[in-house]
Each structure stands twice: as C-alpha cells, then as structure tokens.
Structure 1
Amino acid sequence: MKLLVIGGVAAGTKVAAKYKRVMPEAEVTIVTKGRDISYAGCGLPYYIGEVIEGKDQLIVNTPARFAALTGVLVQTEREVTGLDSHEKKAIARNLRTGAEEIYEYDACVIATGASSVVPPLEGVRLPGVFTMRTPEDAIETRDYLKEHQVKKAVVAGGGFIGLEVAENLLAQGISVTVMDMAPQIMPGFDREMADYAKRHLEKKGIRVLTSTKLEGITGSQKAEGVKTDKGFLPAELVILSIGIRPNTGFCQEAGVEMFKGTILVDDKMRTNLPDVYAAGDCAMVTNRMTGERQWSPMGSSANMEGRTLALALGGEDVSYPGVLGTGVVKLPGLNGGRTGLTEEAARAAGYDVETVLAVTDDKAHYYPDASFFATKLIADRKTRRLLGIQVLGPGAVDKMTDIGVMAVTFGGTLDQMTSLDLAYAPPFSTAIHPFVTAVQILKNKLDGVMESFTPAEYMDGAAADYRIIDVNPAGPTIPGVTYVDLNKVQGEMPQQGFFGMGKEEKLLLVCAKGKRAYLLQNRLKHYGYTNTKVLEGSSFFNIIRTGNAAEKVTVSPEDITRVKALGCLHNKGTNNFNVRVITRNGKVTAEENRCIADAAALYGNGDVVMTTRLTMEIVGVPYERIEDLRDFLAGAGLETGGTGSKVRPVVACKGTTCQYGQLDSYSLSEKIHERFYHGYYEVKLPHKFKIAVGGCPNNCVKPDLNDFGIVGQRIPTYNIDSCRGCAKCQVADICPMGAAQVTDGKLVIDEEKCNNCGRCIGKCPFHAADEGTYGYKVYIGGRWGKRTAHGQALDRIFTSEEEVLSVLEKAILLFREQGNTGERFADTVSRIGFEKVQEQLLGDEILARKEEIVGASLHLKGGATC
C-alpha cells in the first residue's frame, strides 16, 4: 500500500503518522511545499510577544525527526502542480532544482492547508507588512519590531489570530489598532458578546474599528500608515489577518469537487475522486448539529480529521461526525470560548430559540483572584436541548466551553444539566458550578419564572418604553433613575405602588449582574406587579441608557461623583459637564482631532479646551449625553478619564523637535501611557500620581513639579588634554549655567552647576568637548498647587529607557504600599525620608512584590477630589 500525503502541517502529519502505526508495512510519503513540517501555527502570536522565547519552540517536529520517529518518508520543498486520479500519480516541482517529479500512490490524501489572504492593494508588499501563518512570518515580524523600534501597529482582521497578535503587540508597549470590515470582531460569537469584548479591548488600550474597509498601505521605503474608508491610520507595522484561502489551486483541473476553494468530503474524508481524500484546512466537512456544510479551519479539527482518516484507510469502520465550531481565544485580561450554534445560526437552522446571558462568579467569590464568567446559552424551546454556549471571562473559559461541548455533542437538555455533579473547591469553582447556574437561569426563563430582556434585545431598543429601576447592592449607581433597596421590599405594598410605581407600569430591573434584579422581580410579582423585566447581565454587561437629549434629569451629588471618575467635570449650576479626552501626551492625530471636533459639535456646545495637563476637554456636555459621547469617541479609539486617585495621563514636551531636545519625549510618554496609565488603571492609589517627561533641562513641562519627572540629559565628556586655554572659550560662552570656566589656562567644569544640557558638546574647535552620553534624570516628590514642592533628583543619571520605566513602576508600587490615603507622593517621600525612598527605587525588592502590592486591599477610597 502506497499512501501519498500532500501537505505536512497538522492533518498531513497526523494521518501519515497514525496510518504508519496502523499499517507498519505501508509505504507512506509526505510531499510538502515548505521546508518545515508540523509547526505550531496557533503559537505564532505568542512568539511575537516573547511568551514563546525561542524560534525552535515553534517547530513541533523537523522532517528528519518526524521521519525517524514514524518511518514516513518526508519530501520537503516540493510543490504539487497536478493530480491524475486515473493513473494514480501526483506531479510535483522540486523547488530546489526546478525538476519535475512523479509520485505514484494507491491512496492520496490532500492536506495542503490554507494560506493567508493578501488583498491586491497598494503597499501590501512593503517592508513592515506581514501575514501570520508560518513560523517565518512570526520570526520576521519579531525581528522587524526590534530592529525598527516599532511604536504603532495596525492589525487588519478581528478574528482570533488577529486579536492574539494585538494582545502580544500591546504587551510590547506598542500602540495597537485592530480594524475589521465586518460590523463586529470575533466571528463565531453573537454580536452582544463581541461588543462586550470590543469595549474591554478599548479599556485595555487597543483601539478597535469595525465596519472599516482596508484600502491600502502607504509608505515609500517601508510601511508608514494604513488607508481605510474611514480615514488614515499611522502605522509602522501592519499585520494582515483578514482570512485564509485553501491551497487547492492544483485540484481544479484534477476534477476534485470543491466549494469556494475548499474540497468537499464525506464522513470518511473521501472526495469525489476514487482513492483521493482530503483533511484539514483545505477540506470542507459538515456541522454535526445541522448536517450542513461547514468550513472550520482549526488545528484541533485538522488533527481529529487526520486520525479518523488514517483509521478508515486502515480498514476500521469509523467516520468523522463533523465540527461544532469550538474555539477559544486569549485577549488582554479576557478570554473567550464558544461551541455549537450561535443564536443567529440556530434560528437559521429552524430551531425555536431561547437564550440567556448569565454573569456568575468563576470560583468562590472569597478566593483570591476570583472573577467572573459572562455565559450565553442558546437552547431550543421545544426540546430544551442545549444548542450552543459562548463564554467571556478572565479565567478558565475553556472549562465552561468544554462542558458545553459534551452537552451539545450528546444532545443534553437543560433538565438533565441542572444537577450535574461537577468538580468543586473554592480555587476552582463555585458550590453550584457556574455552568449549572447558567443552565438554571435559562430554565427559569423558559418556565416563566424569570421574565427578562437579553442584552441583544436591549441593544435593539426593546426596553425603550420601560422605566429603569436601580437595584444595585451598593446603593444608587445608575444616574437619573429610581433606586429601590431590595431589603426594604417586604410585605404588601401601598395601593398606589412602591416608590410611586403603578402595578401595571413597565419596569426594567437592573442591578450589578442580574441576580438582585431577579429577586426583586420575584417579590414584585408576588405583590401584584405585572410588567417587570430583568435585564440580563445588568450594568456589568450592558451600557445602561437612561434618557435622550430631550429628557432632562436631575443630577445628584452621587451622579456627579460617579461621572467625575470617568473624566467628566461638573459645570456648577448646570446639568452640563466638561469631558476630558485622553490624548496620551497632548499629541493627537488628524483623524482623532476630527473625531473630537465632531463630538464637541454633536454632544457639547462646540468648544474644545486644553487643560494645563495637555488634556483636551469637550465643553458643555449635558449629563444625559455623556454615555453617547463616550461611545462616539470609543469608535475612534479615544477614551475619557484622567481623574481620581490613580496614575494620571502623562504630559510631555516636544522632545527632539525642539532645538534643545535630548530625547524623544513623545515616544517615551506613549510607552508610559500604555504601561502605567492603562496598565495600572484599576489600581487605587493614596492620591493622584502625575508624571511629566521633559526632553531637556529647560524643564518646559516642569518635571520637578510632578510626582515623578523625567528629564532628558546629555552628559558631556571632556578631553582636558585637548584644551588650549583660549582667552575666549567657546565652551564657556555657550554654557547657560556658568558651569564651564577657563582657569589657569585650562577648562574647568563645576559639576554642581552643570545641568547636562549638552549645549557645549561639539563647540570646542580643538575637540575638548566632542563626546556626550544621552541619559535620563529622575525627580520624585514634586507637586504644583496649594502646597508647591520641588521634586528631588535621584543620585543616578540613567542611561537606559527600561531602567527609567522600572524606577517609575517601583515609585507607583511604593506609593500604593507605603503612602497614606489622602497624601500626595511628596508627603510620602517627606514622611519616609528621601534616602530611604531612593534606596527602594534603586533596588529590586519592591518590584518582586508587585502582585502582592497590587492585589492588597489598600486605599479603597483614595484622596483625589478631581
């Protein structure tokens, strides 16, 4: 038996290795176009992010190692150009020699996989533009990042690989924009789940643009930006992750039946040609629930298809049942998993669909690092069979998804799953497993025990004529609506209704996650209220809209405090606010400027002002339009904020665009913004923590009047032997500090006076001052305002940017751990003592305790009032 396998990544190597084990005497040959076989395609984004350190780790098996392990003959760098099913032979071109080669077979498996789609657009072949399909793609991308010190990147494509690449670029301190032509990211998830993920990514600092078409890439020698139908995006690196296309060009003339480039196979992986099979990303199988054709190019299904095919070729009566569309993705601080049918697909398949969105704890709430699952279940009303599950959360969403896989695979019904005996211990789960809890909530909904609106229905305006009732456990949380304390709803309510609500009035009950809203509904039903709805996921999952421009609401002190935390400052005596737009360092792109101007015209009074911190403010925004404004800005990747007891947006001078500039202060401040404003956004500090970056000792942005200041330096190196003792010394004349003097015929530098401005370098005609080292001076404990304090400079001048960023992180951690609530960093430094603070900042001990410090219950209130 001669088995020829065309292609050698996942399905190809799997079918070859397994068949050789089933039929050891068989002659098995792999012919593959590439030099590598069996590589970790799904691990490529993590190589870019240096989670996978070595390029060798991307290669699961080399051709030689695979051949020795399995007994399979591996022929690399051979491209199959034709297939003759009558003569049972494949024609290939040797890519090393150009010679034509013939491979005869008794059975042939096409496992050629797929390649990245590269659209025929301007600039797609420029340096700096990459796809993400092979190890070479990831290796070249990582090398390019380092060589060119990339600061801005655009990822075209919001699928799993594109989003994982974006996460890993962000972790490298790169400003990332993800764009997609589709109206949502994360295909295979329903739109409300994708919308939540989009909002999460934007909070983490990844700009997400949907319904945005790629039109080209600009640049002369390398990529410099991306043209879209919505405008221009600056970018030094572009990742094209807009889809893949099956590698089946040679199959058309061979008579293989195909659909949109994929090879159609049956449950034995057979094509329409005799003794010709296909598996993996080039093959189209079926959906095991609907029986309809489905293309599911995943490494997991490719391996299972390969194994099934090998067993079938070996004579076993096996078949491949099809795919469920199972997938899992890792995002920054959020994971997503899915399997089965989406709500839309289930309706299209003819099911009578009911869904629920349940927000639950992912483990015992009291256990450290406990968080949440946002779980969407899709079921059939008639049979109560589970049809699909989608899960978001920072933890083990794969566990939830895999339970769903088992339930869907074996036709499980909700009633069968309400008491599943799943594993429980506080570090792993809740006493009633979160999967079971979600099932029970959906069962309550189907049984009429709970009446609710889904997030999708709420997004579509189903609750437009409902009065919102706030049932949050922490007191009034939703601005401008009636608050009801659940604990006080006891006994029969007065005839006129509770809190003025008629018993027939339409009431939308909203709490933190949904549980208390359900409890209130249960009580209100008992007391005769007939028109209540619970909002599934409540304020945790949904953006709660409390009115429109025509409706005026009274803004309570609590509401003013709440929106202040979002960067919205109250104009006293009005219902209007100034809304701060975070611009990283005072620099905005032309596209961002247009968006801010449009937002000011649409939602404010048309004015945009600058604060002293180089933050833009949109003036005169009515309270009831704040959320609409924030949504509008988020569409362009902009955010509001910059208030509260936390790391504040950094300010910077013009840096190297100034004649005195010693460092690229814009670049450094953008890294600080991503690493510390975004990275520490959820970390409460004793008070505000302000950072300034000055490009030179002129101190235009007053680094020494900030909690942490960085000043660009150029430290002169003097060659006194070259000094001629000139009567008119060029070095002394240029020194603005009077630190350089000629004394007794030689140049003398007063180091106490020298501020390392570097202006003297290169000014001596006899080369006494030709050299200089670029560096950073760091000030701590400065403060401007009612009690002005000048910061003190650390003793060291740093020559590494990473050293400065490390010291900055240590300063933030020290302030969080050792500062008292309500005091500024200047007070902390004064109380502890500068020398002791400096000792900690120059050591490594405090950084080693980062997780402990960040996770501690400190400064729950904080001292900042603006």
Structure 2
Amino acid sequence: MKVLIIGGVAAGTKAAAKLKRMDRGMQVTLITKDQDISYAGCGLPYYVGGLIDTREELIVNTPAKFAGLTGVEVLTGREAIKLDSTAKTVTARNHATGEEEHYTYDACILATGASPIVPPLPGMDLEGVFKLRTPDDAIGLRDYVKSTQARRAVVVGGGFIGLEAAENLQAQGLTVTVVDLASQIMPNIFDPEMAEYVKRHLQSKGIRVLTGNPLEAILGSGRVDAVKTGMGTLSADVVVLSIGIKPNTAFLADSGIELFKGTVVVDEHLRTNLPDVYAAGDCALVKNRLTGAPQWSAMGSSANYEGRTLAQLLGGAEVRYPGALGTGVVKLPGLNAGRTGLTEAAAKAAGYDVETALCVVDDKAHYYPGAGSFIVKLLADRPTHKLLGIQVLGPGAVDKMVDIAVTGLSMGAKLEDFSNLDYAYAPPFSTAIHPFVQAAYILLNKLSGALESFTPAQYAAGEAKDYTVLDVGLQPSIQGAVRIDLASVNGPLEGLDKDAKLLLVCAKGKRGYFLQNRLKYFGYTNTRVLEGGTTFNQVRVAGVAASVTPEQITAVKALGFLFDKRTPDKFNGRVITRNGKITAEEQKVIAEAAERFGSGEVTMTTRLTLEIQGVPFENIEPMREFLAQHGLETGGTGSQVRPVVSCKGTTCQYGLIDTFDLSQEIHEKFYEGYHGIKLPHKFKIAVGGCPNNCVKPDLNDLGVVGQRVPQVELDKCRGCKVCQVEQVCPIHVAKVVDGKVVIDPNICNHCGRCVGKCPFHAVDQSTNGYRIYIGGRWGKKVAQGLALEKVFTSREEVLATIEKAILLFREQGITGERFADTVARLGFENVQEQLLQDDLLSRKEENLAAQKHLKGGATC
C-alpha cells in the first residue's frame, strides 16, 4: 500500500510513524513545505521567555532522524499545489528547483495544518512584527527583543498562545499590553466571568489587557514603534500577532473536496468526501464529542490522537475518532487555567437545560505548605445531572481537575457517578474528599435545592441589589455588611425578618452555605449564598464606601497607587512621565482620568510623576485601562528602579547636555527594562544638565551631571591684568598665577562658563562629558553622593555604568539597605573599581536570574 502524507509536525508525523510500525512493508512518503517536519509548536512561547534555551530543544525530529527511526521517506521543501482524486495524484512544487513534481497514492492523508492570520492592515510588514507558529518565529522574536533591547510589547490576541507570549515577554523584562477585538480574553473557551477574573489577575501582575479593542494599524518607519487601536495608540518596540489561525487548504479549492470555512470536513473515520483521501490535525473539521456538532480542534493533542487513529484505520483496525472536547490548559503568571467540555453559552445553544456552580475548593490539605485553591465552574444538565463541562483556575495542578472531567465526559458520567470514587489522597497532593468530588457535591446540592445561591454572573448583573449582605467570613471583610459569627447562630438573627432577602457571603462560599442551612432550619425563607465568595467576587454594599484590606493596599501599591489613610478606600495613583516631560494630549488624558476616576485633582511629585488624587479602590483597574489606551502607565513604587528625574537640560541657559533625551533612554532601559527585577531597596536616578544641581543628582542613589571640561592653551594666554576667564568663573577656581591662567582640575566643577571668554582664545577648547555620582540619599538619613574619578565622554559609557551600578546593588546589596549603605559598607574605592570595569556585566544573566531580594525594603 502506498500512502502519501501531505504535512508533518503533529498529525502527519504521528500517522507516518504509526503506519510503519504496523506494517514495515508499507510505502509511506511524507512531503512538507517546511524544512522542519516535527517540532514543539506549543513550546515556542517558552523559548521566547528563556525557559527553553536552544533551538535544538524545540526540534522533536529532524527529517533525517525521523526517516532513520521510522523508515518513512521524507521530502521537505515540497509544497502541494493540486490534488486529483480521480487520478490519485498530488502535484507539488519543489522550492529548491522551482519544478513541479507528481506523486501517486493509494491513500492520501491531508495534514497540512494551519497558518497564522495576518490581517490586511497597514504596517504588517514592519520590522519588529512577529507571528508565533514555527521555531524560526520564536527564534526571530527572542533575538529581536535582545538585539534591539525592546522594552514595550503589544500582543494582539488574547487566546492561549497570545497570553503565553505575553507572560514570556514579560519574563524578558518587557512591559506588555494585550489587545483583543472580543469583549473578553479567551472567547468561546472560558465563560465571561471566568475570563474577567483572569483579566483582573493579569493586570495585577503588570500585564495590561484591553478587550473590545480592534487593531487598526501598526505604525513606524521601517521598524514598529506604535500600535493604533480603536481605543488609541499604544507605544510598542515589538508586536506579536496572535489573532488566530487559518487552515492550509487553499490548494484544495478545485479538488472537489468538502470544505467548511477552509477546514476539511471528515467523518468519525477521518475520511473526506473524496475516495481514499483522509484529513487530520489543524486542517480537519471533526465533531464535538458531546453534541456531535462540527468542531474545529486545532490543538497539538488532538492532532496526535487523530494521526494515530488514522494510521490504525488504514492498517485495518476497527477504530474510530469519537470527536474532541475542546480540552485546553494554559500557564499564566501565578495562575493556571484549564477547561474541557461545553461553556455555559455553548451548552445552552446545544439545547441543554444548564445548571452551574462556581466554587472555591482547596487544592491540597489546607495545612500543607504551598496549599492553594481551585476556582471551579462545573456545568451539568439539570434534568439528567449529566456532566457537561468544567473550567478551573488556580496556582496549582488545574490539569488534574480537567483530566478527571475529560474521563467523565467521555463516558457520559452523571454528577452522582463521582460521589465515592477512590481518588488518591495524601496532604501534599489532594484533600481527603477530592476537590473535583467537592465541586460535584456542591452542584448536586444546588440541583436538589439544598444550596440556593447567586452565581458571580448573576451578582455582577445586579440580581442581588435588593439583598442585605451578611458577612460570614472568619474575619470581617465587607464594609457596611451585617457581621455574622457563624458559631454563635443558634436561633433567629436579631433584627432580621425571616422573609428578608439575605445574601450570605464568606471568603469561598462554604461558610455561607453552612449559615444558609442553619437559617433555613430557623424559618428563613429567602437566603442566597454568593458562589465564590470574596475570593472570586468584588463585593460592595450599596451606598457604603468599602474599606480596603492590607493585602489590597499592598497589591495596588506595586501598581503605583498609595493609600490615602484619611479615607476608607481611596488611593493616589502615580502616572509615569518618563522624564518629566509629557505632551499636551497626555496632559488632557491625565486630567480626564482625574475627573472620571478620581477627585479631579492632580499633583506633581518630587520624582516628576503626576499623581491623580482620590481614586476609589474599585476605580483603579478602570483608570489604569483608560490610561493604557493612551500609552500611559502607573507605577513608581517598590524596591525597584524608580522613575528618572531630570532638569531642563539644554533648554536651560546653563544646560550642557540633553537631559530629557538621556532621561528618556535611562527610563526605557532601566525603569521599563528592569521593571521586573527586585532590588534590595528603591533606586533613584537623577540627571542634571550642569553643576547647578537643580535636581540634586548627588542626593540620589545615582546622579548624572553634564560637564564641560575647559582646556587651557597656555601659549595663547597673555597674562592680562584683568583676566576675563578669572572674572567669569562662578566658583573662583580660575586664577592668574605667574602670568598665566590656571584652572585647578581637582576643584573645577566643569560648568563651562569660562569657555570662549578669553579674547585671545586661550580657553576656547573643552571636552563635553558626564560626571556620575553614586550613593546619595535624601530623607530621614541624608548621604551626599561621591563622584567617580572619571569624566565620561560618551552616553554609552554612562548607560553601561548605570547598569553596572544597578547590578552591583542587586548582587552585593543586602535586602532593606539603600545603595548609600551598600557603598559605605563595601567602601567607595571598591565600588568605583567595580563600576569602572566590566565584570558585573559579564555576570549579568546569572545575577538577574538569581532568586534575590524577593521581598525588598522600600516602604513607599
């Protein structure tokens, strides 16, 4: 039997290898357009982030290795351009020779996969715009980020690959914004309330997410520098397109094959409508295992299963491919997300009478170190109790919850079928009653009426607005709610009518259920438990300003919002201005943000950031999203490089250097570029244009001062009785000694005021440069920085020295101490010697990768 396989990677290579194992005498030929036939496509984002180090680790098999292992004839660089099912031939173009080649078959497998969608918008061909589908894409992206020292990334598309790309770009030190046309991230994968929780989580981790935001153009001259969206223009050094994929099936247009939106329609035996032509993988349209409806499942796992099943079928086995469930899992910063089966919307569209429960359950014994929670949304058919789907969020092994559901869905299980399953238990791994079983119990309680509740979606829609909120948590956490001590409830609640509408809220939902059970016994008729409690929901009592918890204060502080202790829930948010200079348009945006989200007042901080006053806690994320739409960000707190402060530089009559431009570059390289790097304490940088020291560079951790070093040509000096150079020197360092002007280099502050003042041109020459001060500090303890002995003459030297100072502070500083303390402890001469050499740069990668200063010392 002669089998021709078009395409490699997952489905094609899996089918080829299995065919040869089943029948070594079978003639199997695999042709593919690409040179790589088998690679880890799902690992590409992790190569970008550096978790996968080399290209070789991404390559599962080279063509030669695969051919040697399996006996399959592998022909790369062949692009299929025509299928003739009558003649049983495939025509392909050989890209090496340009010639057309013809291949015959007894059976043909289409495994051509899919390609990234690139919208027909301006700027798609600019340098710095990437897709993420092949190893070369990932290699090109990582190399570009490093070679250009990119600091700002925009990821277009909020699906799995887009979010994985965002996480890994952030891991490389970039500031990342995700934009998506849809109203939520992960559309049709997670239900809206689950996606909204993930969005809030990503934003808390510093990844901006702008949904309902269409891409309009990518801007730049030769190289990308911004992204134009429906909500405004976002600055960008690199763009990743993750909008979606389209099947590689254009060559089949005239073949007579049945296509649906570009996918090849197949039956449960993976047969197309053409004789002896089959399809598998990302180009094939299979069916949903639950509903039997057509479903496109472009996943590496599905492709492998389909390829293997197809090989078995061609080998004569009595097997079928029963369909896909849409199972998926994604790793995000500090949160994993998994799902399988139907979403609530899809289940209703399929005709099911859907009931759901959202619960928060322990992922292992609560007392075991590292224990966390699963946020579980479980779906079932109300009349039959048949399991329909699951969505799980949490820091731990969400995949095991999803995999249990996959087994149950595949076997048509009802919720009751899970009741007494003997799942593995030990404190490091699970709870005594498995978390999946707990979720099933909760949904069964809801179906039976034992639990009466509001889902988070119902709560967000306002269905609980007429209910009195009872706070049943272990500790009071909801401002304005009626506090209930669960342990003391042994009868009717004082002051609450038995027919009153009562919303029972705790941290997770469990204590709320216990209270409801007790209140029902005492005759209360209208109680509802809020599913997911305060863990999942943002609970507010109408008309009451909610006080914030210490955890919330800490969380938003890292985003640049400082708590106003005169209020229960208001913060002052710092808007970064890069170098103290912003445009008139940005001023308007900040003013509008202050009016819409804050008190309407804006103040200037000493670090030249703008601070929007009086922002309620619930307005923080909406305000950050609004600012992000206009390319602005909040921040400037924590044990990190702080925003750079700059004087007016060359716009001042005394300015010697362009401080705005230098400060902008320092901001991009060290505020944005080192944004994810923890230091022992805050690290402040100031740039002054001259020795007037308007922004006190010598009272910062590191200060840069513009210099103009005069050069005296003594042969031109006339020894004038009234020396103009001496007269103009503001600090009286220039003096006429023995008939010649002398400028003591150890005292001169290099202000340059004397240059060009001699009528005989004795002091016309000078060297422009930069003086760097280290170890300054202002505050409770004052330290004046000391100048390095060298006057630097290039900006590159200055930037390198700043980086070395930051690296030295991270490597040799003690958590909680300021750089001045580090310099004093190590000795100025020691520190200066290290900064004037390059050893610190050679240890950079090791230094930044080290788990140091995980809790820094900055308190403001």
TM-score class normalised by the smaller sequence:
0.7 to 0.9
The residue number in structure 2 matching 1:653 is: 646
Q: Aligned AA for 2:532? A: G
Amino acid at match of 2:185: I
Aligned to 1:309: 310
Q: Following the alignment from structure 2 to structure 1, what is the Cα–Cα distance between the partners of residues 32 and 363?
A: 44
Closer, same or farther in 2 for the Cα pair 1:442/1:510, shift >3 Å?
same
Structure 2 Cα separation of the partners of residues 202 and 521 of structure 1: 34
Of 429-438 and 662-671, deviating more is: 662-671
Matched letter for residue 545 of structure 1: R
| Structure 2 contact 355–380 (Cα < 8 Å) conserved | yes
1:49-93 deviation line (CA, Å, top 9, x unaligned): 222221222222111111111111111111111111011000111
Aligned to 2:511: 516
How far 1:583 moved relative to its partner?
Answer: 2.6
Task: Give the aligned partner of residue 158 of structure 2.
Answer: 158
Q: Which residue of 1 aligns with 2:31?
A: 31
**Alpha-carbon distance in 2 for matches of 1:279, 1:560:** 49
Residue in structure 1 matching 2:603, options 586, 606, 609: 609
In structure 1, the partner of 2:490 is 491
**Pair 126,514 (structure 1): closer, same or farther in 2 beyond 3 Å:** same
Q: Which amino acid aligns with 1:75?
A: L
Which residue identity is paired with 1:523?
A: R
Cα 1:141–1:533 shift into 2, 3 Å: same
Q: Residue 435 and residue 518 in structure 1: after superposition, are their counterparts in 2 closer, same or farther (change >3 A)?
A: same
- Cα separation, partners in 2 of 1:641 and 1:848, compared to 1, 3 Å: closer
One-letter code of the match for 2:283? C
Does residue 192 of structure 2 align to residue 191 of structure 1?
yes
Change (3 A) 1:714 1:562: closer
Q: Which amino acid aligns with 1:631?
A: P
**What CA distance in whole angstroms lies between the structure 2 residues aligned with 1:504 and 1:578?**
39
Shift of 1:120: 0.9
- Is 2:258 aligned against 1:260? no
1:502-513 alignment, distance < 5 Å: 502-513=497-508
What residue is the counterpart of 1:215 in the other structure? 216
Contact 1:599 1:629 in 2 (8 A): no
Q: 1:613 to 1:52 in 2, by over 3 A?
A: same
For normalisation by structure 1, the TM-score amounts to 0.84
* Offset at residue 199 of structure 1 (A): 0.9
What is the DSSP-based 3-state SS (H/G/I as helix, E as strand, rest coil) of the residue aligned with 2:80?
strand
Match of 1:354 in 2: 355
Distance 1:434 1:673, change over 3 A: farther
Task: Tell me the C-alpha RMSD between the 2 structures.
Answer: 4.3
Per-residue deviation at 1:226?
A: 1.4
Equivalent in 783, 793, 801 of residue 790 of structure 1 = 783
Q: Distance in 2 between matches of 1:714 and 1:432?
A: 68
Pair 52,768 (structure 1): closer, same or farther in 2 beyond 3 Å: farther
Residue 23 to residue 850, structure 1, CA distance change in 2 (3 Å): closer
The counterpart of 1:691, out of the listed 666, 684, 687, is 684
Counterpart of 2:346 in structure 1 is 345
C-alpha distance in 2 between matches for 1:470 and 1:533: 12
Residue 814 of structure 1: SS of its match in structure 2?
A: coil
Does the alignment pair 1:834 with 2:821? no
CA separation of 1:104 and 1:502: change in aligned 2, threshold 3 A: same
How far apart are residue 319 of structure 1 and its match?
0.7
Task: Trace 1:474-623 onto structure 2 (pairs within 5 A).
Answer: 474=475, 476-487=476-487, 489-493=488-492, 497-498=493-494, 500-547=495-542, 551=543, 567=561, 570=564, 577=570, 579-583=572-576, 585=578, 595-619=589-613
8 Å contact from structure 2 (residues 272, 278) kept in 1: yes
Judge conservation of contact 1:335–1:393 (CA < 8 Å) in 2.
yes
Q: Tell me the secondary structure at the aligned position of residue 854 of structure 1.
A: coil
Shift, 1:632, TM fit? 4.3
608, 611, 634: which is aligned to 2:625? 634
1:35 alignment partner AA: Q
- CA offset at residue 147 of structure 1? 2.5
- The answer for the alignment partner of 2:702 in structure 1 is 710
User: Hey, what does 1:233 align to over in structure 2?
Assistant: 234
Distance 1:679 1:529 in 2: 54
User: Residue 352 of structure 2 aligns to a residue in which SS?
Assistant: coil
- Alignment of 1:666 with 2:664, yes or no, is yes
More deviation, 244-253/608-617? 608-617
Where do 1:102-501 residues align within 5 Å?
102-187=102-187, 188-474=189-475, 476-487=476-487, 489-493=488-492, 497-498=493-494, 500-501=495-496
* Counterparts in 2 of 1:102 and 1:538: CA distance versus 1, 3 Å: same
The code of the aligned residue for 1:627 comes to E
Write the letter of the residue equivalent to 1:510: V
Identity %: 50
Indicate how the Cα distance of structure 1 residues 521 and 809 shifts in structure 2: closer, same or farther if over 3 A, else same.
Answer: farther
Partner letter of residue 150 of structure 2?
Answer: V
Residues 12 and 30 in structure 2, CA contact (< 8 A), matched pair in contact too:
yes
Deviations 1:700-724 (A, max 9, x none): 5445545xx2323789999x9x987
Residue 672 of structure 1, CA deviation = 5.1
Deviation at 1:202, TM superposition (A): 1.1
Deviations 1:23-67 (A, max 9, x none): 111111111111211122112212222222212222221111111
Contact 2:688 2:697 in 1 (8 A): no
Compared CA separation, residues 644 and 61, structure 1 to 2 (3 A): closer
In 2, the alpha carbon distance for the partners of 1:161 and 1:777 equals 45
Q: Deviations over 1:547-604 (max 9, x none)?
A: 3xxx4659799999899968365596x8895632443755668876555433333344
**CA-CA distance at 1:168 after TM superposition:** 1.3
Q: How many Å separate the matches in 1 of 2:94 and 2:829?
A: 65
Unaligned runs of 5+ in 2: 791-797, 835-839
> 2:775 maps to what in 1?
779
- Aligned amino acid, residue 657 of structure 2: Y
Aligned length: 824
In structure 1, list runs of 5 or more residues that go unmatched. 820-824
Taking the aligned partners of 2:755 and 2:390, their CA distance within structure 1 comes to 66
Mapped contact 1:285–1:322 kept (Cα < 8 A): yes
SS at match of 1:109: strand
Aligned equivalent of 1:54: 54
Quickly say closer, same or farther: Cα 1:94–1:761, change in 2 above 3 A: farther
Change (3 A) 1:65 1:779: same
SS in 2 for 1:406: helix
Deviates more, 1:789-798 or 1:92-101: 789-798
Kindly state the Cα deviation for residue 421 of structure 1 after the two structures are TM-superposed: 2.6
- For residues 96-127 of structure 1, the C-alpha deviation after alignment (integer angstroms, 9 at most, x for no partner) is 21111100111101111111111111111111
Contact 2:113 2:281 in 1 (8 A): yes
Do the aligned residues in 2 keep the contact of 1:567 with 1:640 (CA within 8 Å)?
A: no
Structure 1 residues 139 and 395, CA, compared in 2 at 3 Å: closer, same or farther?
same
Partner of 1:822: none
Contact 1:776 / 1:804 at 8 angstroms: preserved in 2?
no
Q: Judging changes above 3 Å, is the alpha-carbon distance between structure 1 residues 614 and 414 closer, same or farther for their aligned structure 2 residues?
A: farther
Residues 173-229 of structure 1: CA distance to partner in whole angstroms, max 9, x if unpaired? Answer: 212111010001113011111111111111111111111111111122221211212
| Contact 2:92–2:100 under 8 Å retained in 1 | yes
* Contact 2:756–2:763 (Cα < 8 Å) also in 1: no
1:616 shift after superposition: 3.0
Note closer, same or farther for the CA distance 1:47–1:405 as it changes in structure 2 (3 Å cut). same
Contact 1:216–1:228 (Cα < 8 Å) also in 2: yes
Q: How far apart are the structure 1 equivalents of 2:734 and 2:363?
A: 66
Give the aligned partner of residue 8 of structure 1.
8
CA distance in 2, matches of 1:338, 1:730: 81
- Answer yes or no: is the 8 Å Cα contact 1:4–1:28 preserved in 2: yes
- Cα distance change of structure 1 residues 522 and 694 upon mapping to structure 2, 3 Å threshold: farther
CA distance in structure 1 between the aligned counterparts of 2:260 and 2:215, rounded to whole angstroms = 26
Write out per-residue CA displacement over residues 260-285 of structure 1, whole angstroms, 9 at most, x where no aligned residue: 00000011110000000011100000
Structure 2 CA distance for aligned equivalents of residues 346 and 388 of structure 1: 9
